[in-house]
Amino acid sequence: MKIIKGGQIMKKVFALVLALTLMLSLAACSNSAAPADSSAGKSGTDTATEAAKKISILTPYLSSVTTNQMVETMKASMETKGMVVTVVDTKGDFGQLASRIEDVVSSKADAIVLVSADPNQVKTQLQAAFDASIPVFGCDSGFIEGMMVNATSDNYAMGEMMAKYLFEDLMGGKGTVIALTHRPHPGVVKRSEAFDKLLKEYPNIKLITEQHIEVPGPIENSRKVMENLILSNASKDSITAVWSAWDEPAIGATQALQDAGRSEVIVTGVDGNSQAVEMINQDTNLKATAAQNFEGMVEIVVNEMTKMFAGEEITKGEQYAPATIIKK
C-alpha cells in the first residue's frame, strides 16, 4: 500500500513542480515590460538602439488616492517616453520598503523614484543606491543629500495657507477647532507644524483636540473619530471647524457631521482630491481644500529624469509645484 502511495506522492511532486513553475513564470510574464536587458525590453521609440531605462517607483502608501493618482500618472508618462516602469507598494511598512530598495539596487535599476515616503526613514538603503550610482528621485517625499530632485508642494506653505483661510475667512478669527493629522508622513507633519504655529497667533481660537488618523483606511478611521468627537461635543456650535491635514480625513469627518446633522461645522482639507472637490461643490460641511499640484510634481520628476538620461545638467534639491485654494 505504501508503494502505491509512493507513486501518488511522485505525481504530487510533479504537480507541485509544475504549479510553482507555472505560477512564477506567469508572474514574471504578467509584467508586460520584460527586463531591459532582453531584446524585448528595447523601446520602440527613437531610442530603439539603446536598452529601455528601467525605473522603479517605490511607495508605502499606494492605497492613498492621491499617491495612487500620482504613481499612475507618472507611470503612464514615463512609459510614453519608452521607459520600463515597475511599481512597488509596501502597505505602510518601512522595513519592507528598505528591503525592496535593496532589491531594486541589486537588480541594477536605472533610476528609483520614492513616492510619498520620507527618505530619512530608509537612509541606509538609499545610500546603497547612491553608492551604486543609481539616481534617486523623490515625488511628494523629502530630500536628502545624494538624491537628484524631490518634487513636492511646499507643505508648510500649504498648511499655513489653509489654516489662515480657515481661521480668517471661514471662522472670522474665533471659535473652536479640531485637528486631524498623521504626523509620521513627511508632508503632513509640515502642514501640522504650520497649523500649530498659526494657531498660537489666534488667541480666540481654541483647539479642542488633535487626533491621529490611521493609514491605510483614513476615511473610515476619521469618520469614526469624528462620530465620537460629535458625541463628546454634542451641543450645536461647540465645534466651529475641523482642520484636516489632508483630504481623506476631511471626507470622513464631513460624512460623520452630515449623518449627525451638524451642518454648522466647517471642514477644510488639503490635497484637492476629486472626491473632496465634489463635496465642496455639493455644499457639504467641506468648504475648501488646497489643491496640491500633483500633476506638476509628476511633470517635474519625469522632465528632470528625461533631462538626466539625455545627459543634461539638472539642479539637485527640492522643486516646488505651486498649490491653489479650491472653494465653491
Q: Which of 98, 157, 260, 314 binds other proteins (CB under 8 A)?
A: 98
- Closest CB to other proteins among 186 and 252? 186
Residue 222 CB coordination number (10 Å): 28
Q: Which of 94, 130, 165, 202 binds other proteins (CB under 8 A)?
A: 94
Residue 131 DSSP symbol: H
**Which helix or strand (DSSP H or E) is residue 62 part of?**
none
Beta pairing, strands 136-139 & 324-327: unpaired
Spatial separation of the C-alpha atoms in residues 197 and 41, rounded to whole Å: 51
CB 233 within 8 A of CB 208: yes
Q: Which of 47, 96, 258, 275 binds other proteins (CB under 8 A)?
A: 96
9 binds other proteins (CB under 8 A): yes
Contact stretch for other proteins (CB under 8 A) within 83-91, 194-202, 237-245, 319-327: 83-91
Number of residues that make up the chain: 328
178 binds other proteins (CB under 8 A): no
Phi, psi angle pair for 150, to nearest 5°:
-120, 120
Q: Which of 42, 53, 81, 182 binds other proteins (CB under 8 A)?
A: 182
Residue 88 CB coordination number (10 Å): 17
Binding pattern for the stretch 200-239 against other proteins, x by CB under 8 A and - elsewhere: ------------x---------------------------
Binding pattern for the stretch 31-50 against other proteins, x by CB under 8 A and - elsewhere: x-x-x-x-------------
CB of 181 to other proteins, least distance (A): 7
Contact stretch for other proteins (CB under 8 A) within 121-129, 145-153, 217-225, 285-293: 121-129
Angle, CA of 237, 239 and 244, to the nearest 5°: 145
272: alpha, beta or left? (left if phi > 0; alpha if psi -120 to 50): left
Q: State the Rg of the chain over Cα.
A: 24
Contact stretch for other proteins (CB under 8 A) within 95-103, 217-225, 238-246, 267-275: 95-103
Beta pairing, strands 286-291 & 266-271: parallel
CB 241 within 8 A of CB 285: no
Q: Rule CB under 8 A: which residues touch other proteins?
A: 2-3, 5-7, 9-10, 12-13, 16-17, 19-21, 23-25, 27-28, 30-31, 33, 35, 37, 54, 56, 62, 84, 86-96, 98-100, 102-104, 106-108, 118, 120-125, 181-184, 189, 212
